[in-house]
Structure 1
Amino acid sequence: MGLPLTLSAAPRALAFGVACVAAAMLLFELAVTRLFSVLFFYHFSFFAISLVMSGLVIGGIWSARWGVREMNEHAYRSRLSALGWMFSAAMLAALFTTLALPPAGATPSLSAVAVQALVFLPGLVAAGAFLAAAFARDKAWIGTLYASDLIAAACACIAAIALMRIVQGPAVLLVPSFFAALAGVIVAPARSLHRTTSALIGAAAGVVLIANAMAGGSLLHLQSAGKESPLVERWNEYSRIQVIDGGSDARYIIIDKSAATVMMPAPIEADGQPPRARGWWKAGPQYAVYRLERPLARVAIIGVGGGRDLLPPLAHGAARVDGYELNGILVDLLQREFVAYNATATRPEVALIHDEARVGIARSGKNYDVIQASLIDTWAATSSGGFVLSENGLYTLDGWRTFLSRLSDRGVLTMTRWYVPDAPAETQRLVALAATALGDAGIADTRSHVMLISSRPAGNVAFTMNEAAAMGTILVSKSPFTPDEVARVKDACAEQNMVLLAAPGVASQDAVIDRLLDAATRRQAIHSSPYNIAPPTDLQPYFFLQLRPSDVLELSGKSFGPVTEITFNGVRVLMLLGGSALLLTLVVVLLSVLGLPGPVGRASALPVYRWMTLYFLGIGFGYILVQLGLHQRLIIIVGHPTFALSVVLFSMLLGTGIGAAWASKLFAKRGIRAAGAAILVVLVALLVCFPAFPAFEQIESQAVRLGVIGAMLGGIGFVLGFAFPLGVVMVAPTGEWAVQKMWAINGAASIAGSVLAAVIGITLGSQFVIAAALLCYAIAIVAGSLAEAKARGSLRDELASAQRTTSLV
């Protein structure tokens, strides 16, 4: 039998206050991830978020000395209200400080990132202290309060998508500031100074939000890295889009920090007709595929961007060009806002399709003569854990199998990536991906099915970068390239000063590429490379992380140009962050274990307290590993990063919240051991069923598919929701500070767990992230069961002692 639970109800005001703070925290995390992705790069964004979220841990430790159980009601509510308005005010101060700071450079240092991130830390400290103090007041309230926390966070997850579209740019951070102030108003004693303060700060946030909206979002904006203001700036849940005037030659479109695409002038003709093809439409090393002179009945362009890739197939007479674009802002720019400058979308052959390209092509039912993707990357963080990018699914074996299956008999898949001769990891990985995908399709002689072309290395190849690099374009066909086709591509190379790196009958100029094209030497070439050039899979979809975690120290003394640093720094930052997060967790655990759970520690309570330390450490690691492992896998299956984020976060948080509310009813007598058994059964079932997840892709309806996945995740979350409230009930009697310390441990484990999920996902795959979560929960449940047994034994000893005392009297 477990320990009995009291059933007194939590105060409604406190539950609403917790909900407001939880919603504010979730909105803040999603919004600031988007902001940091613009200020830094996606991997620095991950570092910054982890740094800021450590404030929750500090807040838990800070609140541990307050004696919240002994406070009178007025003092307790005043303390919570003060934390609410401090959270709100700190968010406002951090927002305006960020707007005033100059933009970071192309490859910012970790110290620069840390300085800009730390301005948000005080607000999260206040938020962490608020929640820890709320949960510690009465163990009987934990189920209701924890459920309020999670259900509000789930609702905020859905609201965040709409808010990032409606409230443009950094101003979205005013919304969590408002909710934090609202929490201060709700929990404050009537007619108190804290209530007035909270109301004034909340009103200030609301007024600024409305004023910024009335000004079209122009009041609150980040400082621009360039001298000129952008022609257009738009934000949504994917990225920030800026259109920069490039003079009479072009408009440059900047995505987040520095990913760029170009919009060329192609206006409506003088006779009112759509733009006619010009000679320059055909130019560019990435368009060699059209020199093959194969049929062009239907062409698919992956990532329309500014529309440049739509022009060459039109110039070569394509009858139909389907342009797939994930970001609706870019589609809108071409179809409406800049249609007078570039009217390509008005051509009758062109169809712009707002969808993720891999999903759209797979479900189109069409076979294409050319599928083209030129430098498709955004380097934009998706608010969903480490290194999960919206474009990852384009560069996996599973994705290439889809593309090859949608080619006509003589169709060609062509992709362009950066080719840096001093560090050619990206191009070599593309070749490894192509050769392996062809081999999986039953093509043994891959050499006759692949051509690789490179432009001459030059500086300033990317709009915001300055590095000597070239563009490497690969052509992959299910049918062999003929000698005549190779000759035409050679002619194109001579005309445009390009280099033919590999082709049938042509000796390769790169020894590694030559070995990658040979099935007999491919594995050894991948293994011996100083870079990670193994073909990514849907279980490890990290094409852009071309440095193995194990090789970080070996390459630590080397420096590369900005284009290369973007990919190499990701793993470097990850490993540094992993060490920092584990150190933070170790410090928090040691402070908790070596200290007492209260001002006066009972010897009989210490074993329970220390076993529960391991329990909360385990469920903190376990929950975030389950959440991120599922997201790593489902972002490919759902085919839409925002839908995947919404489905995983919303469904799991909602399910966990409902499970937390039911924990006291289902396990009032059976305790942690019985709840733990249910958790382990569910996680084992998840791990066993994980390889079958691609079956979800067979569900044609997007709504039905999301509904089925959401129901599954909600069920998993429901069972995982038992762990935290039952643990609080167990640890609360051990001492006044115990709950706050366990909150800090759980938070530190979540931060470290997010890094661990990224490391395991990169090195082993998402299924091993779930396996690690199962292990963490198993350890936690063993520790919780031992604590339960210790508590039961202590209770029996105390009852026996009381009976002896009574008999003596």
Structure 2
Amino acid sequence: MSEPDDRREPEAWWFLLGLFLVTAASLAVEVLITRLLSVVTWYSLAFLVLAMGMFGLTAGAVRVYLTPEDYRPGRLGASLARDARRFALAVPVSYVLLLLVPLRVEPVATTVPLFLLFGAIVALPFVPAGQVVSAALTKSPLPTGRVYAFDLAGAALGAPLVPELLERTSLGTAVLLVAALAAGGAAAFARSVSDAVWLRRSTIAALGLVLAAGLNGSSLHGLVTVWAKGRAEDRSQVEAELWNSHSRVQVSKLGRMPASLWGGGKKCSPPLVRQRTIMIDADASTPLYAPERGLDDLGFLDCDVTNVVHQLRPGGAMAIIGVGGSRDLQAALRHGHDPVVGIELNRRLLEILEGPYGAQTGVPTNPAVRLVHDEARSYLSRTQQKFRVIQASLIDTWAATGAGAHALGENGLYTVEAWRTFLDRLDDDGVATMSRWSSGETVRLVAVASAALLERGEPRARPHMALVQSGAVTTLIVGKRPLTAADGEALRRVADDKGFVVLLG
């Protein structure tokens, strides 16, 4: 390694640019690995990245403290170029290792060393990043305030950089591009002290990482996950894969298979139907039906307890929370609802419906349908439109947001305040319906809906409610006004016809 003259001080703007790029890359890597772990593990473990990132940065700072000779004034620029380049190369290494380690949470002793290994892999790139930041802040001859300002500015860029990258490319490609950014920081440090050797090495690393990113982005078979949620992934049926800051969305190839029913009635037999499967973060799935003869082919949707509301309130304006693959939209159109407003938090799902895949559903071209990219509770709070039906069926994608905290996209839907909003947006004869898994969730759902009704001044919640179950799914129907005897008779009639169980109504 070449050593510049001990009397040479780094050129300020090249030095500050190097720090800016490294801190931007550090924050971006942290968010990207969080997104990766949201796919390969569960969200509660994804935020292990925050802890291990801080651990790695601290270890890097300790390394600077223990080796002051490496960061004396004459060697500072070259040492920072070396550490930044190590950071750039450690990023793809850590990413690939995380793809290969099949992390599982099992009540066995093996889980302990597995977690330690996994945590070490996460922390790996942050150690050299911590060395760069610590040395730049404590060893630089430049004013500390100015250095710290560029440190913060780079971090401020890194976090919003991730959504922009993932909107345009895959996670693996984004990781490689961010690593190239760090290599660019190494080149800037080398340029600040005119170190030709480290400048050449860093430039080669940056160009190599950009080339690798281009190759990876040109195929579905690049650096992708092979393990997810503790099981091997079968990618043979994946036709498209899209990322954003809070999900990975895969679209399967078109096939003919039995229709997917979440809460199919006991007297129903799912027919064979052309469909794709949309998979979110390797766990939450939704079907995308491609009927050959239009909506007439989808009569089987009435066999799902999630759609029982159409027997009580056919027709009229309807809002659907979470459009998924459009099955709820298709059921609404079959029963004459107009307009049908589909509210979806995940823009990628709307892109699928508005593209060639969605054209096969017959939904986006229907003049009665309006698709809205928004958080449902926020949208319904703002709109002045009234609906005859508001529906939310199994909204549990567990979509972790990119906010840097353990926040799930649907957390705000299952609250008293949300039910209050739903009831406010109903017309006088309207009903809100929500389907959940038949478990303690059903009890909580009834409790929060009852609380919302009582807060509105209703003397009793019971007359407003109906509860229908089929298998693992229970559907709650709540009327703005008390449900009528005719509503109860309609429920019992459809339950007898399809094999549902009326628990309340």
Q: Same fold (TM over 0.5)?
A: yes
1:266 and 2:291 are equivalent in the alignment? yes
Distance in 2 separating the partners of 1:428 and 1:245: 38
Structure 2 CA distance for partners of 1:130 and 1:336, relative to 1, 3 Å: same
2:158 paired residue number: 156
Q: How does 1:643-682 map to 2 (within 5 A)?
A: none
- Contact 2:73/2:139, CA 8 A, preserved across alignment: no
Distance in 2 separating the partners of 1:286 and 1:107: 34
Alpha-carbon displacement from aligned partner over 1:530-588 (angstroms, at most 9, x marks no partner): xxxxxxxxxxxxxxxxxxxxxxxxxxxxxxxxxxxxxxxxxxxxxxxxxxxxxxxxxxx
Distance in 1 separating the partners of 2:325 and 2:443: 27
Distance in 1 separating the partners of 2:49 and 2:128: 18
- Match of residue 381, structure 2, among 352, 355, 362: 362
* Partner SS for 1:472: strand
1:478 paired residue number: 480
Structure 2 CA distance for partners of 1:278 and 1:129, relative to 1, 3 Å: closer
- Match of residue 397, structure 2, among 357, 378, 403: 378
> Normalised by the size of structure 1, how large is the TM-score?
0.55
- Match of residue 176, structure 1, among 175, 178, 181: 178
Distance in 1 separating the partners of 2:32 and 2:146: 27
Aligned-partner residue type, residue 98 of structure 2? T
Alpha-carbon displacement from aligned partner over 1:642-701 (angstroms, at most 9, x marks no partner): xxxxxxxxxxxxxxxxxxxxxxxxxxxxxxxxxxxxxxxxxxxxxxxxxxxxxxxxxxxx
Distance in 2 separating the partners of 1:314 and 1:281: 11
1:225 paired residue number: 233
- Contact 2:49/2:122, CA 8 A, preserved across alignment: no
1:432 paired residue number: 447
1:551 paired residue number: none
- Contact 1:277/1:314, CA 8 A, preserved across alignment: no
> Normalised by the size of structure 2, how large is the TM-score?
0.86
- Match of residue 136, structure 1, among 135, 138, 141: 138
Q: CA deviation at 1:190?
A: 2.2
Distance in 2 separating the partners of 1:491 and 1:54: 61
Structure 2 CA distance for partners of 1:72 and 1:62, relative to 1, 3 Å: closer
Alpha-carbon displacement from aligned partner over 1:289-309 (angstroms, at most 9, x marks no partner): 1122x3631011111010111
Distance in 2 separating the partners of 1:206 and 1:52: 24
1:391 paired residue number: 410
* Partner SS for 1:373: strand
Distance in 1 separating the partners of 2:142 and 2:240: 53
Aligned-partner residue type, residue 173 of structure 1? V
2:363 paired residue number: 344
Q: How does 1:336-735 map to 2 (within 5 A)?
A: 336-420=355-439, 424=440, 426-456=441-471, 470-503=472-505
1:29 and 2:3 are equivalent in the alignment? no
Q: CA deviation at 1:12?
A: 2.6
Alpha-carbon displacement from aligned partner over 1:75-103 (angstroms, at most 9, x marks no partner): 2222211110110111121223334x165
Distance in 2 separating the partners of 1:482 and 1:260: 35
Q: CA deviation at 1:105?
A: 5.9
- Contact 2:291/2:298, CA 8 A, preserved across alignment: no
1:14 and 2:15 are equivalent in the alignment? yes
- Contact 1:34/1:382, CA 8 A, preserved across alignment: no
- Contact 2:464/2:480, CA 8 A, preserved across alignment: yes
Aligned-partner residue type, residue 446 of structure 1? A
* Partner SS for 1:402: helix
Distance in 2 separating the partners of 1:106 and 1:266: 40
2:149 paired residue number: 147
Distance in 2 separating the partners of 1:37 and 1:317: 39
Structure 2 CA distance for partners of 1:115 and 1:266, relative to 1, 3 Å: farther
Alpha-carbon displacement from aligned partner over 1:117-173 (angstroms, at most 9, x marks no partner): 532322101111111111111587221111101112222333322111112222211
2:344 paired residue number: 325
Alpha-carbon displacement from aligned partner over 1:314-339 (angstroms, at most 9, x marks no partner): 22221221111122221122222214
Q: CA deviation at 1:376?
A: 0.9
- Higher-RCO chain (CA-CA 8 Å, sequence separation at least 6): 1
Structure 2 CA distance for partners of 1:71 and 1:9, relative to 1, 3 Å: closer
- Match of residue 234, structure 1, among 242, 245, 248: 242
Q: CA deviation at 1:53?
A: 3.4
1:287 paired residue number: 307
Would you tell me which structure has more helix in proportion to its own residues?
A: 1
Q: CA deviation at 1:113?
A: 5.5
- Match of residue 253, structure 1, among 278, 288, 294: 278
- Contact 2:173/2:214, CA 8 A, preserved across alignment: no
Structure 2 CA distance for partners of 1:405 and 1:107, relative to 1, 3 Å: farther
1:784 paired residue number: none
Structure 2 CA distance for partners of 1:106 and 1:138, relative to 1, 3 Å: closer
Gaps of 5+ in 1: 1-7, 457-469, 504-809
Q: RMSD value over aligned CA atoms?
A: 2.5
- Contact 2:353/2:359, CA 8 A, preserved across alignment: no
1:204 and 2:224 are equivalent in the alignment? no
Structure 2 CA distance for partners of 1:500 and 1:351, relative to 1, 3 Å: same
- Contact 1:168/1:234, CA 8 A, preserved across alignment: yes
* Partner SS for 2:407: coil
- Contact 2:289/2:327, CA 8 A, preserved across alignment: yes
Count of aligned residue pairs for this structure pair = 470
Structure 2 CA distance for partners of 1:63 and 1:440, relative to 1, 3 Å: same
Q: CA deviation at 1:407?
A: 0.4
Structure 2 CA distance for partners of 1:452 and 1:110, relative to 1, 3 Å: farther
Aligned-partner residue type, residue 79 of structure 2? R
Structure 2 CA distance for partners of 1:343 and 1:322, relative to 1, 3 Å: same
Deviates more, 1:110-119 or 1:338-347: 110-119
Aligned-partner residue type, residue 223 of structure 2? L
Distance in 1 separating the partners of 2:202 and 2:380: 51
Q: CA deviation at 1:116?
A: 3.8
Q: CA deviation at 1:67?
A: 2.4
Structure 2 CA distance for partners of 1:322 and 1:96, relative to 1, 3 Å: same
1:190 and 2:194 are equivalent in the alignment? yes
* Partner SS for 1:481: coil
Distance in 1 separating the partners of 2:366 and 2:30: 42
Structure 2 CA distance for partners of 1:11 and 1:103, relative to 1, 3 Å: same
- Contact 1:277/1:315, CA 8 A, preserved across alignment: no
Q: CA deviation at 1:287?
A: 1.3
Aligned-partner residue type, residue 504 of structure 2? A
Alpha-carbon displacement from aligned partner over 1:166-219 (angstroms, at most 9, x marks no partner): 122222111221122112111124244333322222121111112233x25542
Distance in 2 separating the partners of 1:275 and 1:112: 50
* Partner SS for 2:331: helix
Aligned-partner residue type, residue 237 of structure 2? S
Aligned-partner residue type, residue 91 of structure 1? V
Aligned-partner residue type, residue 291 of structure 2? A
Would you tell me which structure has more strand in proportion to its own residues?
A: 2
Q: Bigger radius of gyration, 1 or 2?
A: 1
Aligned-partner residue type, residue 29 of structure 2? F
Structure 2 CA distance for partners of 1:107 and 1:408, relative to 1, 3 Å: farther
Distance in 2 separating the partners of 1:325 and 1:114: 38
1:298 paired residue number: 317
Aligned-partner residue type, residue 252 of structure 1? T
Structure 2 CA distance for partners of 1:172 and 1:123, relative to 1, 3 Å: same
Aligned-partner residue type, residue 255 of structure 1? I
- Contact 1:291/1:488, CA 8 A, preserved across alignment: yes
* Partner SS for 2:392: strand
- Contact 1:98/1:116, CA 8 A, preserved across alignment: yes
Q: CA deviation at 1:22?
A: 0.8
Distance in 2 separating the partners of 1:326 and 1:386: 18
Q: CA deviation at 1:265?
A: 2.5
Distance in 1 separating the partners of 2:502 and 2:106: 32
Structure 2 CA distance for partners of 1:162 and 1:438, relative to 1, 3 Å: same
* Partner SS for 1:16: helix
Q: How does 1:722-761 map to 2 (within 5 A)?
A: none
- Contact 1:369/1:408, CA 8 A, preserved across alignment: yes
Q: How does 1:25-64 map to 2 (within 5 A)?
A: 25-64=26-65
Gaps of 5+ in 2: 1-8, 227-231, 258-274
Distance in 1 separating the partners of 2:138 and 2:204: 28
Aligned-partner residue type, residue 343 of structure 2? Y
Q: CA deviation at 1:277?
A: 6.3
